[in-house]
Every structure is written in C-alpha cells, then in structure tokens.
Structure 1
C-alpha cells in the first residue's frame, strides 16, 4: 500500500471512521505514518484521537488534489513540489547528498518565508532525509 498514490477522499473517510469506531488512526496507517497511527491506537481510550481524526478529515477534504499530493504523495513523484531529487542508488553518492542538502536549505527558506507550514516542512524534510539512508 505504501507504493500506491494516496487518495484524499479515502483518507478523509478513514479519518471520519476513526471518530465513530472504537479504534482511531487508520487514516495515519493509510497515509504511511505508522508511528502516528500507533499513537492514535494507543490513545483510543481517550477522545483525543477522535477529535484529531475529525479535524484531519475536514483538512483532507479542504485541500485540493495538488496540495494533498504535495503533503502525502511527494515521494511517489506525483507532486509538482520543487525541489525534486532523483532516487539515489543503493550506494549514496556525494553529489546526491549535496543535492539533498541544497533541497533542505531551500525547504527551510520556504518555511522561514511562511510559504509552507511547519507540518509540511517536517514531512518533506523526513522524506528527503529518508533518501540518504
């Protein structure tokens, strides 16, 4: 499921289902955020994940397709987000590390200028760093 494009309507349905079901967080697993999903499951006995799921369901629906892709489908190449970095081979080359470092600097500049949120910055930063390891 991690290699397929994520659909914002499916994510929203799973998020809203988390407000009604005894266990919340399925949308986090669907979106490739298993640690957040596990946290939602562990906190399912409280109202916190249900409220968060409802808010996120509305957030997913309020985004247009491009914004959703930038947030959740970036690593699959479907987003128009810049900077783009080619997938590195098994042995990471120094030029790829340099390109990723430059992309991280650009990303930080966008965050500091207020063009992307802290959440978007952290998501994209993690995706870029995952390409090094």
Structure 2
C-alpha cells in the first residue's frame, strides 16, 4: 500500500497550531501516531499538550530531512543517492546492531512501555535498513 511521504513543514505547522487552538495533537495523527494523538486530545484542557506541541514543532524544524524521513516515513528516502540499488552490501556489524536494537524494542513492548503499533512501526524501520 502506497502512502504519501509526510512533510516535515506540514507536521510543524500542525504542531504549532496545537499551541494556539484548544485542540492539540493533530500532528500526531498526521505522523501516524494515533495513540499519542488521543493522549494529546484527552489532555487538551491542560497546558501540557500545548507546550509539548510547541517543543515538537521546533524539533521537527530543527532536524534535517534525513532524520525526519527516518523517524516518520519509515526510513524511506526517495533521493537516488540512498537508493537500495546503490547499496550493494551491508556491513555485518550493522546487522548485529539492528538485531540488538530489535531485541531492546521487543523488551520495551513486553514491558508495556510502547504499544504494539509503535513496536511494529519501529521494527519495520529497522528491518528496512537491512532489506
């Protein structure tokens, strides 16, 4: 299933919007994090999600495109320099590091610190790096 890549600037605009309107968390829904979006909506009567939205908006703008792509577009970069065709092999130590990261991620899921959805999203990001 093809989904349009998320825009860093649009996510920042949505986050900034959450600081001035009574409802915040729209940027979380846009970025594919509906559980966090619900938390923001439920806490909208407090200043917490509004402050968090402002911080996240600045964070989205401060990170470079590659970091944003890696974090919110499942690590897929459409630029030709990062195409899988141009990457003939992968370093075995990188595979080992990814395996360790997946084990840690699974333990976070089992401990209930991240949701099944968040686990699956990050797992796909890590596996896409070696595929």
TM band (smaller chain): 0.5 to 0.7
Please list every run of 5 or more consecutive structure 2 residues that lacks an aligned counterpart in the other structure.
83-94, 105-117, 126-131
Residue in structure 2 matched with residue 62 of structure 1 by the alignment? 62
Specify the SS of the correspondent of 1:45.
coil
Superposition CA RMSD, Å: 3.3
The reply to whether residue 48 of structure 1 matches residue 48 of structure 2 is yes
Runs of 4+ in 1 over 6 A off after TM superposition: none
CA contact (8 A) 2:12 2:60 kept: yes
Residue in structure 2 matched with residue 16 of structure 1 by the alignment? 16
User: Deviations along 1:77-102, whole A, 9 cap, x unmatched?
Assistant: 3275xxxxxxxxxxxxxxxxxxx997
CA contact (8 A) 1:11 1:27 kept: yes
User: Deviations along 1:14-49, whole A, 9 cap, x unmatched?
Assistant: 000000011000000000000000000000000000
The reply to whether residue 127 of structure 1 matches residue 125 of structure 2 is no
CA contact (8 A) 2:15 2:26 kept: yes
CA contact (8 A) 2:74 2:124 kept: no
> Between Structure 1 and Structure 2, how many residues are aligned?
98
TM-score by length of 1: 0.61
**Structure with the bigger percentage of helix:** 2
TM-score by length of 2: 0.62
CA distance in 1: counterparts of 2:101 and 2:38, whole angstroms: 32
Please list every run of 5 or more consecutive structure 1 residues that lacks an aligned counterpart in the other structure.
81-99, 110-122
